[in-house]
Chain A
Amino acid sequence: MYRYDEFDATFVSERVDQFRDQVARRVKGDLTEEQFRPLRLMNGLYLQLHAYMLRVAVPYGTLNSKQMHKLAYIADKFDRGYGHFTTRQNIQYNWPKLPDVPDILEHLAEVEMHAIQTSGNCIRNVTADQWSGVAADEVEDPRPYAELMRQWSSLHPEFSFLPRKFKIAVTGDKADRAAIAYHDIGLRLKKNAAGEVGFEIFVGGGMGRTPMIAARVRDWLPKSELLGYLEAVMRVYNLNGRRDNKYKARIKILVHELGAEEFTRQVEEEYARLDAPQGLPSDQELERIAAYFAPPAYEDLAENDAVHTQHLVDNKDFAEWVERNVAPHKITGYAIVNISLKPVGGVPGDATSGQMHAIADMAEKMSLDEIRVTHEQNLVLPNVRKHDLFAVWQELKEHKLADANLGLATDIISCPGLDYCGLATARSIPISQDISIRLGDIKRQRDIGDLKIKISGCINACGHHHAGHIGILGLEKRGVEYYQITLGGSGDETASIGQIIGPGFSSETVTDAVETIVDTYMDLRKSGETFLEAYRRVGAEPFKEAVYATH
């Protein structure tokens, strides 16, 4: 993975000093809260309901063990012993004190991390497929380009005060695990007719109150021209994006109002007149970055491991965990281990410092020192020998991290909601816990099969409810929370926006409604048909009938 050189280290450490000075000026009163707000946001610092919240960037979701140990240390020293992994592959601390924040940033800088641009109206932390570099069917590892974009977007002189936040996601695979269609810019590495790898570029996806699927603006762009093309997109947006209404300020609205064709024309026109080479990295620089993502020292292993195969036969729980949580690796004899942060009845995405330390230790010993964070709020050990799977599983079990529910009904995405967030209109964590407990029986979950339930506590949709097979949106009317249900959303390569099925439900009845929807699916599904497939075949009607007849 990427390592800072002197240049990167200088950048991050000067940024810490700069922020330390800004905090000091704020504390002294030289900066008003209004002036300080955009500055602190550009360093990931929010003012929440009860306290400040610090969001630390995990660039494209990649961590090493040292970094994970540090995240655990920060949770213990400056917070309440836990952290929350988010849908943007970041980690949030919910209880830091303002004067401590510069020190936290200094600790992060020690392990080559930062909180730069994890919030604010700027280019946010770039996210990527969590299986980048290891997925069995990948075209190419997108992370060298994610790193290039991390650098390019950091304190960009022209694009740091955009109309609204800006999110970029990248994948190197046909299967989309990064939800690129729901991003301001989605990038997919693919081969052109000549077999050269380049970027397919989508612009204008997003969630929030106006969910949109991104439009394709470029079928194929040479990889080396990426930053030039991004510059053109950003300039068209920075100059023309709406600033009169924050709910209409995302690039998706600009693309929608201009029409994808006209937007694309403007971008291409800007791109054509750019003095492109001036803004592009040199070949040596691209090679320098790419070298950090060269495959680690994999051993030459056989496809099957006798010890592992025996454990599969002997231990049903282990075999079930392998079936759900372990994915094929591109290197023979290795596997991708997905660690669920969704224990039944737990808080989605939360990890204690003890769990973080344990995962860091496992990564060091058994995953070639790598860890990934997923946008579905889980973690990954990307490089585990099949031979070690049983040991990893046992260790995970010891730390209550061995739930075999990846992609099942209790693998719920949830935003922090009204328990923490200043923007929330309703609680989301307690609803996800309630649903998780209701559907928690693992036999039942396995029987239900692939099901993505996603919960947001307000219209901003941080819980990705629009992309949920079952989406839940918490709202509030006259001081009472209620929950709207959408069906048929998807964030994968067949992206679709969930449709509202009808009137909302109270916090007491929403779990019943979800259970009815699930039971309805079980009754009408054809053999082997997933929830999403069944919904796409039959539409919303049977679900509506069942839900509104009984509630």
Chain B
Amino acid sequence: MPLIRDGKIVEDIWVSLDDEAELPEQGDVILSLDRLKKEANAIQTRSGRTGVVLENDVDEEDVETYLPHIELIALTFPAFTDGRAYSQARQLRTKLGFEGELRATGNVLADQATFLCRVGFDSFEVDNDQSIDVWNKALRSMSVAYQRGYDGEQATRESGPLSQDKAHTSLA
């Protein structure tokens, strides 16, 4: 499954760990929330980085106490029409101040790219064969956006005069 970051397909160095598998001392692993809770102490001492995958019905406050030890949160899109993860991402970034990698997994399409970036996702596991070019084109398709207070490369009304090639230069 290709992983997109910074407009490129990159190698995924994170390993999703089964709940039964042993927690390795080294290497970057993604745990379920249950496993994370059980290993709350262990993850603080291991040398590898720890991430967690959150289901759509998890209250983000459930993960709040672990955030200082977490460097990646994966949110899931069971269907690309299921938009809960957008609000989860938004909450993690703004309310809880999470600054690590926020990964979109599941049914992720290029046509969601701008939305995903604007709520704070920065890596994308795309489960279809859309090429990186389609992804980047989709990302550049809108240079302006109306909503204030969201991220992204788009200009908003308050961000000053329109820069026609803002999206292009920042992604080049």
B73 CB to nearest chain A CB (Å)? 16
Counting CB contacts under 8 A, is B119 at the interface? yes
Residues of chain B within 8 A of A156, CB atoms compared: 146-147
B167 CB to nearest chain A CB (Å)? 10
* Residues of A in contact, count (CB < 8 Å): 40
Counting CB contacts under 8 A, is B148 at the interface? yes
Counting CB contacts under 8 A, is B84 at the interface? yes
**A7–B162 CB distance below 8 A:** yes
Chain B residue with the shortest CB-CB distance to A285? B157
Residues of chain B within 8 A of A281, CB atoms compared: 148, 157-158
**B118–A157 CB distance below 8 A:** yes
Counting CB contacts under 8 A, is B44 at the interface? no
Residues of chain B within 8 A of A11, CB atoms compared: 142, 144-146
**B149–A10 CB distance below 8 A:** no
Chain B residue with the shortest CB-CB distance to A37? B81
**B150–A158 CB distance below 8 A:** yes
- Once the chains are docked, how many angstroms separate the CA of A282 from the CA of B159? 11
Counting CB contacts under 8 A, is A151 at the interface? yes
Chain A residue with the shortest CB-CB distance to B88? A239
- Once the chains are docked, how many angstroms separate the CA of A6 from the CA of B83? 30
Counting CB contacts under 8 A, is A539 at the interface? no
Write the B120-133 contact mask toward A (1 if CB under 8 angstroms, else 0).
Answer: 00000000001000
**A238–B83 CB distance below 8 A:** yes
Residues of chain A within 8 A of B80, CB atoms compared: 35, 38, 161
CB interface residues, A 262-288, toward B, < 8 Å: 273, 275, 278-282, 285
**B150–A6 CB distance below 8 A:** no
**B158–A157 CB distance below 8 A:** no
Residues of chain A within 8 A of B162, CB atoms compared: 6-7, 10
- Once the chains are docked, how many angstroms separate the CA of A243 from the CA of B82? 8
Write the B29-65 contact mask toward A (1 if CB under 8 angstroms, else 0).
Answer: 0000000000000000000000000000000000000
**B147–A279 CB distance below 8 A:** yes
Counting CB contacts under 8 A, is B18 at the interface? no
Residues of chain A within 8 A of B144, CB atoms compared: 7, 10-11, 14
Counting CB contacts under 8 A, is A17 at the interface? yes
Residues of chain A within 8 A of B94, CB atoms compared: 275
Counting CB contacts under 8 A, is B86 at the interface? yes
- Once the chains are docked, how many angstroms separate the CA of A132 from the CA of B25? 66
Question: 14 pairs across A/B with beta carbons < 8 Å?
Answer: A10-B162, A30-B134, A155-B145, A158-B86, A162-B83, A235-B87, A238-B83, A243-B82, A243-B84, A275-B94, A275-B149, A278-B149, A281-B148, A285-B158
Residues of A at the B interface (CB closer than 8 Å) are 6-7, 10-11, 14-15, 17-18, 21-22, 25, 30, 35, 38-39, 121, 151-152, 154-162, 227, 235, 238-239, 243, 273, 275, 278-282, 285
